[in-house]
Chains A and B, each alone.
Chain A
Amino acid sequence: MLESWIELARGPLLRLALLAMAVGLLRQVLLQVWEISWAFHRAGDQVVPWRVALRRNLEWLLPWRYLQRKERRAYNFTSFLFHVGVIAVPLFLAGHVAIWNQELGLSWWTLPPAVADWLTAITVVAALGLLLGRMVNSASRVISKFQDWALPVLCILPFVTGFWVAHPLWSPFDAQVVYLVHLLSAELLLILVPFSKLVHMVLFWVSQTSSELGWRFPPGSGERVRVTLGKETEGI
C-alpha cells in the first residue's frame, strides 16, 4: 500500500508538482516582463538605472550589507543561512541530483554528504529561528499573515524528514512513512510557490527595477486620469 503511494509521489506527482511550479513561475515572469516593458515604453523618462537596481538586489543577497547595521542583524543573518539551505540542499544533494538526472537527463556538482547534513541542520534551526524572530519582534508579529507562519513550518518538514531518509537510524518513525511525508511536503511546497510569497524567488529580481519604473510617469497621465473620471473641466 505505502509502496504504491511512494511510487506515485516519486514519479507522476513529483513531475506534476515541478510542472505546476514551472508553469506558474513562467506565467508570473512573463506577466511581469510584459508589464515592465509596457511601463518603460510609456515612461517620459526612459533613463532607468537598471544596473543600480540589479546591484541593490545583489546587495541584499549577500549578508554584509545588513551585517554592518545593528538593527535586525541576527534576524537577517538567520534569513541568509536559511536561504542558502533551502536553495542548496534541494538542488545539490547527491540523492536529488540523481533524481534530476533521471528526470531531466542533467547532472551537476553535488554536495559532500557531511556538508549536506550540516546544511540541513542549519536550515531547520534557521527556520525555527526565523519563526522565533517573527514572534518576538512586535512589528513583524503584527504584520504577519497565515502564510508567514505556515510556510517556514512547511519548509521544515521536508528537511527534517529528508535528514531521516538519509539517516534512518536517527528516525523515530517508520522509514516509508517518513519518505512519503518527505516527498509530499516537498511537492506541496513546489506547487505553492507561484501562489504564495515564495514567488519572490523570481519576482525579487525585478522589484527594485519596478520601483524605479513606478516613478517614471507617462507624460499626460494625470490629465488622462481626470478625463477618465469625467473631471476634465473641474479645477483643483
Chain B
Amino acid sequence: MEAEIRTLPEVSQDVLASLRPPSLTPEKIQERLSYIIEKDRVVGDLPRRFLEAFAAVLKHTNYRQVIDNYARIPARCANCACACQIYQQTHDPKDVPCYRSNLLLEVYRRHFTLRGIVEGHLSGAPFLTDDLILEMAETYYHCTACRRCTLECPLGIDHGLVTHLARYVLSEIGLVPRALVISTREQLEGQTRNTSAIPWPAIADTLEFLEEEIKDDKGVDVKFPVDQPGREFIFFAPVSDYLMEAETLMGIAVVFYATGAMDSWTISTEFLDGINYGLFYSDWILERCLREELEQLRRLEARKILIGECGHASRSAKAFMRTFGGGEKAPPVVNIMEYTYRALKEGKLRLDPDVISERVTYHDPCNLARTGWIIDEPREILRSFCRDYVEMEPRGQWNLCCGGGGGTVSVDEIRPYRTGVTGVKKAEQIRATGAHYVVAPCANCKKQLREVCEDNGLDDVEVVGLHDLIYKAIVLE
C-alpha cells in the first residue's frame, strides 16, 4: 500500500504525515450514520483513504478542471441559498449550497493545490479529519442534487456536480448508503440482474397478469414483447414499476397498441432495469449500468433506447449514452413521454375527456425538467383530456424537487428527513393546488411524493404516473 501512495502524484507524503491518527471505529461511524456502509472496515484511517481516492478520481476524470475553477471564484453571494428548498426549510448554515460544496473544494484546495499545501505546512494543522469526512458523508446525502441552486449561481457553480463528485469519492472508501449499494450489487452482480431482486419468472407472471387485466378493462389483446430482435426500441423501466406501478406499464403498452406499433418495442429478459444509481454516487456504476443497456441493445439488435417513466434513468441514459456509446455512434435515447407526445400530435391517441373529472396537477422530476428537456410534452398530453388541470408554482425548469432526489428516496432510514424537511415545500405546493391526482412520471418521485403526502396529512391526494391516467382515459377499438 505504501508504494501505491507514492505513485499517486497528487497527495504528498507531507500531507499524509500531517493527518491525525485514526479516531473512529466502524461502530462509531455506524452510530452516527446508521444508513451508511463502511464496507472496508478499516478502523479509522478515513482521511488517508479519502485523499487517495480523491487523487485517483482527479487523475482519471474531468473533474479537476471544474473544481479548480470553483475553488477559485466563488462570490459567496448566497443566491443559491434562496433557490434551495432545504435551506429555505431549515435555515441551517450547513444547508447553504455554497457552504456544502465548499467542504469538498476546501479539501481540494488544501491538499491538491500548491498554495494549499504550503499553507498547510505553515499552519501545521491537519485539515482533513475523520469528523470532516463524516460531515461530508452526512451532508452530501442531505442535498438531493436537484440542481435548482445552479440556476441561481451567477458564476455557474453546479452544486449537483460537486455533490456527485463528493459522493463518488466517499463511495470509493466505502461510505455510501447501504440501500444504494445493495440494490446496485444485485443489479450488476446478482442473480436477478435488477435492483429489486425480482427473478424473471415473477416478472413474466406479472406481465401475463397485466395482459389479462388489459383484456378485461379494454377488451383488446395487448402483448408485452419480450426478447424480440430487430425492434426500433429496447425498453428499460425502473424495475419497481413491475411490482408497484402496474398501471404505468399498462398505459405504456396500450399507447403502443393505439399507435399500431406493437412490434416496435421489446423488453429484454436478461437486463430490463433502467435504474442507474451510478448517477447519484459513482461514475464507475453509472458506466456499468449504461454498458448493460448498450449490451442488450446490441444483443436484440434494437436501434433506440426507450426509458419508461423515470427521471434519473432517463437523464443518465440521455446525458451519458454518447459518452459510453461511442459519441456519434451512440443510439438515441427517448423518454416514453416523448413517444406518447408524438403519438398525440399525430392524432393516434383517443383520450376520453369525461373519464378524469378530478383535479390534476403535474410534478416536474428534476432530472427531466431542470435542463429544460421535457416540460411541455406531458402538460399538453394532460390538458388534452383532463378537464380540471392546474399548475403548481414554481414549475418547469424552476420546479421544486420532490425532496427525495439524488437517490435519497431509497434510503428508508431518513424518511423523517425526506418528508419532514426536504419534502415540506413540495407538500405545501401540492396542497395549494387542491389537486386529487399528482402526476409524477418518475418512480423515485412517486415513492417520495406518496410518503410526503402521507406524512404531511394530504390524505386525498393520489400520486400517479402520466400513463396511469392515459390508461384510464384511452379509447381503443
Interface of B: prevailing SS: helix
Q: What separation, in Å, do the CA atoms of A203 and B287 have in the docked complex?
A: 30
B72 touches A235 (CB 8 A): no
Instruction: Give the Cβ gap from A51 to chain B, nearest Cβ, in Å.
Output: 14
Contacts of B93 on A, CB cut-off 8 Å? 138-139, 142-143
Chain A interface size, under 10 / 10 to 19 / 20 to 34 / 35 or more: 35 or more
In A204-236, which residues have CB < 8 Å from any B CB? 204, 206-208, 210-211, 213-226, 228-231, 235-236
B65 touches A214 (CB 8 A): yes
Given contacts A43-B323, A137-B78, contact A222 B288 (CB under 8 A): yes
B81 touches A210 (CB 8 A): no
Q: B172 near A: Cβ within 8 Å?
A: yes
B53 touches A222 (CB 8 A): no
Q: B184 near A: Cβ within 8 Å?
A: yes
Contacts of B98 on A, CB cut-off 8 Å? 143
Q: B91 near A: Cβ within 8 Å?
A: yes
Given contacts A39-B65, A71-B82, A207-B155, contact A223 B185 (CB under 8 A): no
Q: Which of A32, A221, A235 contacts B65 (CB 8 A)?
A: A32
In B278-310, which residues have CB < 8 Å from any A CB? 282-288
B56 touches A225 (CB 8 A): yes
Q: Which of A47, A79, A204, A236 contacts B77 (CB 8 A)?
A: A79
Q: B74 near A: Cβ within 8 Å?
A: yes
B82 touches A218 (CB 8 A): no
Contacts of A43 on B, CB cut-off 8 Å? 62, 323
Q: What separation, in Å, do the CA atoms of A145 and B172 have in the docked complex?
A: 31
Instruction: Give the Cβ gap from A20 to chain B, nearest Cβ, in Å.
Output: 16
Contacts of A56 on B, CB cut-off 8 Å? 156
B62 touches A213 (CB 8 A): yes
User: Chain B 297-334, CB within 8 Å of chain A: the 1/0 string?
Assistant: 00000000000000000000001101110110000000
Given contacts A200-B73, A221-B283, contact A44 B189 (CB under 8 A): no
In B28-83, which residues have CB < 8 Å from any A CB? 52-53, 56-57, 59-70, 72-79, 81-83
B65 touches A38 (CB 8 A): yes
Contacts of A75 on B, CB cut-off 8 Å? 77
Q: A140 near B: Cβ within 8 Å?
A: yes
Q: What separation, in Å, do the CA atoms of A220 and B324 have in the docked complex?
A: 8
Give the residue name and chain of the A residue nearest to B82 (CB): A71
Q: A185 near B: Cβ within 8 Å?
A: no
Q: B188 near A: Cβ within 8 Å?
A: yes
Contacts of A230 on B, CB cut-off 8 Å? 1, 4
Instruction: Give the Cβ gap from A155 to chain B, nearest Cβ, in Å.
Output: 14
B161 touches A197 (CB 8 A): no
Q: What separation, in Å, do the CA atoms of A222 and B59 have in the docked complex?
A: 11
Q: Which of B61, B81, B155, B326 contacts A225 (CB 8 A)?
A: B61
Q: What separation, in Å, do the CA atoms of A229 and B338 have in the docked complex?
A: 41
Number of interface residues of B (CB under 8 A): 66
Q: B474 near A: Cβ within 8 Å?
A: no
Q: Which of B74, B83, B87, B283 contacts A217 (CB 8 A)?
A: B283
Given contacts A39-B65, A143-B93, A216-B62, contact A229 B52 (CB under 8 A): yes
Given contacts A211-B158, A214-B65, A218-B61, contact A139 B81 (CB under 8 A): yes
Give the residue name and chain of the A residue nearest to B102 (CB): A143
B62 touches A42 (CB 8 A): yes
Q: A199 near B: Cβ within 8 Å?
A: yes
B284 touches A223 (CB 8 A): yes
Q: Which of A47, A57, A134, A203 contacts B69 (CB 8 A)?
A: A203
Contacts of B165 on A, CB cut-off 8 Å? 214
Instruction: Name 13 extra pairs, CB < 8 A, besides A71-B152, A219-B323, A222-B288.
Output: A32-B69, A35-B64, A39-B64, A134-B76, A197-B75, A207-B155, A210-B156, A213-B65, A214-B66, A217-B320, A222-B284, A225-B61, A228-B59
Query: Chain B: residues with CB nearer than 8 A to chain A?
Result: 1, 4, 8, 52-53, 56-57, 59-70, 72-79, 81-83, 87, 91, 93, 96, 98-99, 102, 150, 152, 154-158, 161, 165, 172, 181, 184-185, 188-189, 282-288, 319-320, 322-324, 326-327
Between A and B, 22 residue pairs with Cβ closer than 8 Å are: A42-B62, A47-B322, A60-B156, A71-B152, A72-B79, A79-B154, A138-B93, A143-B93, A143-B96, A143-B102, A197-B74, A197-B75, A200-B75, A207-B69, A213-B65, A214-B161, A215-B319, A217-B283, A217-B320, A220-B287, A222-B285, A222-B288
Q: Pick the 6 closest A-B CB pairs, nearest first.
A: A222-B284, A140-B78, A35-B65, A214-B66, A139-B81, A44-B323
Query: Chain A: residues with CB nearer than 8 A to chain B?
Result: 28, 32, 35-36, 38-39, 42-47, 53, 56-57, 60, 66, 71-72, 75-76, 79, 134, 137-140, 142-145, 148, 197, 199-200, 203-204, 206-208, 210-211, 213-226, 228-231, 235-236
